[in-house]
Amino acid sequence: MTKRFALRGRVVANGHDILDGLVVVNGAAIEYAGPAEGYGKEWPEQVERVENGFICPGFVDMHMHGIAGSDTMDGTPRALQTISRALAGYGVTSFLATTMTAPYADLEKAIRNVVEVFRKGTDGASIVGIHLEGPWINPRYKGAQKEENIVPPALEDVRRLWELADGLIKVVTIAPEQTGALEAIRWLKDQGVVVSAGHSGASFAQTESAVRSGVRHFTHCFNAMTGMHHREPGVAGAAMYHEQLSTELIADGVHVHPAVMRILYRIKSASRLVLVSDSMRAAALGEGVYDLGGQEVKVQGAEAQLADGTLAGSILTLNHAVQNMVTLSGVPLAEAVAMATETPAEILGIGGRKGRLQAGYDADLIVFGDDYQVRSTYVGGRLVYHV
Active-site residues: which are they?
278
User: Please, where are the H alpha helices in 269-387?
Assistant: 318-327, 333-340, 342-347
Q: E strand or H helix at 98, and its extent?
A: strand 92-98
Asked if residue 260 lies in contact with residue 231, where contact means CB atoms within 8 angstroms, the answer is: no
Phi, psi dihedrals of residue 184, rounded to the nearest 5°:
-65, -40
Q: What is the distance between the alpha carbons of residues 69 and 75, in angstroms, rounded to a whole number? A: 13
Burial of 108 (0-12, 13-18, 19+ CB in 10 A): middle
Its sign, for the CA torsion 199, 338, 304, 301, is positive
CA dist 106 and 96 (Å) reads 18
Which uninterrupted H or E stretch holds 267? helix 258-268
Phi, psi of 81 (to 5 degrees): -70, -35
Burial class (CB in 10 A: 0-12, 13-18, 19+), 353: middle
Instruction: Determine contact, residues 249/264, Cβ cutoff 8 Å.
Output: yes
DSSP single-letter state for residue 260: H
